[in-house]
Amino acid sequence: MNETPHTTELRSEPVTVIGLGLMGQALAAAFLAAGHPTTVWNRSSGKAAELVAAGAVLAPSPDAAVRAGSLVVVCLSDAAAVHDVLGPHRDALAGRTLVNLTSGTSEEARELTALTTSYLDGAIMAVPEVIGRPEAFLLFSGEREAFDRHRAALQRLGTATYFGEDPGLAALYDVALLGLMWGTLNAFLHGAALLGSAKVDASAFAPFATRWVGSVTEFITAYAGQIDRGAYPPEDATVETHLATMKYLVRESAAAGIDTDWPARIQALAERALAAGHEGTSYASLIEVFRGRA
C-alpha cells in the first residue's frame, strides 16, 4: 500500500487493549501489526510478554492503559469483569471511545453504556487465529459517530459491520448466530453418530454434510422473505411432509441405539406448528412456535 498522510494518520491512532486472554492477545497483535501504537493491560501481567516484545507498551494500571488510547478495546471473560476493571476509571474514559468485545447479553451491553458517553459494543465471529484477516467478521452497535470515527482501526481486526445505535444489537446478533452454529453442529454430530452406527466414518459423512448445509442456506434466504411477509406458502414442501420424514430420523436413532432427544425435539416443534393450525404451510411457519404463539 502506498503511504499517504491519510494512511499514516489512520495507523497512528493510539489503541489500548484491556484483557490479554486468547482473544485479547490476538486483538492487540492485529493492531500492532497494522502499525497502531498499542498499549495493553492484563490482570496477570505475564501474558503481555510476547506483545511487549513485538512493540506494545504494558501499562502499569487500567487507568494508565485507558489514558494511553483514544480507542479503548476491552475483551474479558464477562460483563462483570468489565465493570470490575473499568468501573473505577470513568474519568479516564471520558473523551475516549470504549469498544467492548466481551461476549454477553444485549441487556449487559446496554448497562455497560453507563461507563462512558462514547460506547460501542461488539461481537467477534471468529477464533483468535483469524483475527486481522478479512474472514474474521465483527459485529458492532452503539454510537454511530464513534463507529464512523474508528472504522479504519476496527477494520484492522477483520470485516466490521455496524448494526445501529442500539448498543444491545450486536450481542443479539451474536447469540442468534451462535445458536445457528450450535444447532448446525448438533445436527452434524447426531448424523455422525447415526452413520457411525453403520461403521461410516465422520470424515466420510463430512463432505456430504457441508454440501447439504450449503443447500440449506438457500432455504434460509427463501424463508426469511416468507417470515418478513408473514405468509408461508408451501412452495417447496409442507410441514406435514417434513413431519413424516422426521419420524424416520427418530426411528432410525432409536433402532441404532443412539440418543433420540435431538430428533424428538425437532419432531415436537413441527407437531406444535400443526396443532396451532399451520397445516399446508411451509416449514417457515415454525417461526410462530419460536415466537411463542403456537
Ligand X SMILES: NC(=O)c1ccc[n+]([C@@H]2O[C@H](COP(=O)([O-])OP(=O)(O)OC[C@H]3O[C@@H](n4cnc5c(N)ncnc54)[C@H](OP(=O)(O)O)[C@@H]3O)[C@@H](O)[C@H]2O)c1
Q: Which residues bind ligand X (CB under 6 A)?
A: 19-24, 42-44, 47, 75-77, 81, 84-85, 102-103, 124, 127-128
123 versus 266: smaller Cβ distance to ligand X: 123
Q: Which stretches does DSSP call E strand in the chain?
A: 15-18, 38-41, 57-58, 71-74, 97-100, 119-125, 137-142, 159-162
Q: Shortest Cβ distance from residue 171 to ligand X (Å)?
A: 11
107 versus 148: smaller Cβ distance to ligand X: 107
Whether residue 145 contacts residue 169, with contact meaning beta carbons closer than 8 Å, is answered with no
Q: Shortest Cβ distance from residue 100 to ligand X (Å)?
A: 9
Locus of grid cell 493491560: 41
31 versus 283: smaller Cβ distance to ligand X: 31
Q: Shortest Cβ distance from residue 203 to ligand X (Å)?
A: 24
85 versus 274: smaller Cβ distance to ligand X: 85
For the chain, counts of helices (H) and of strands (E): 13, 8
The cell numbers describing 28, all together, are 492487540
Taken as a whole, the chain contains a residue count of 294
Q: Shortest Cβ distance from residue 8 to ligand X (Å)?
A: 31
Q: Shortest Cβ distance from residue 154 to ligand X (Å)?
A: 15
Cα–Cα dist 36/11, whole Å: 5
Q: Of 76, 234, 235, 71, which Cα lies nearest the Cα of 153?
A: 71
171 versus 289: smaller Cβ distance to ligand X: 171
